Structure 1
Amino acid sequence: MQDDEVMDELNDLFTLIPCQIGGYPFFTQYDPRQEDNNEVLLFQLDSQDHILWGDSGVGNFFISKEDLKNKDFSHVRYNWDCY
């Protein structure tokens, strides 16, 4: 495989998951979390045929590892971005 083909395969692997619980988040712009942030993806809702976040964007909900462990959903953080 050529380098471009490998990059295309990797891109598809991580960006074609429209909705998910946990895992690696997808952003249309940039990751809003700070480098030292311990938040993880709680769930992600990506734009679909009948549901759009702005201009084909994605909504992400984050939670700290400690809050998730303790089942404390009172501090979930929300972010959405679009093209």
Structure 2
Amino acid sequence: MTDSAAFRRPLPTSPFKARVEAPVRRFAVGDRVSHDRYGLGRAIGVEGDSDIAVLVDFGSRQERITQPYAMMYKL
């Protein structure tokens, strides 16, 4: 291996370095959801125009879940 091959700079246009943006999750009042920690629930409130937080009723407790909703999924 030559020294020039060991120190190649990556191309800025390489598709392997492109950042992929996750799709924005939106919830509405009445949506059934599943949360990894709290279990099954129903959205009872949404804060803000861009879904800053969702208030979810999990039966035994109500939790305010904020973005990016990594552990919550719409059913």
Same fold (TM over 0.5): no
TM-score normalised by L of structure 1: 0.33
TM-score normalised by L of structure 2: 0.35
> Going by fraction, where is strand more abundant, 1 or 2?
2
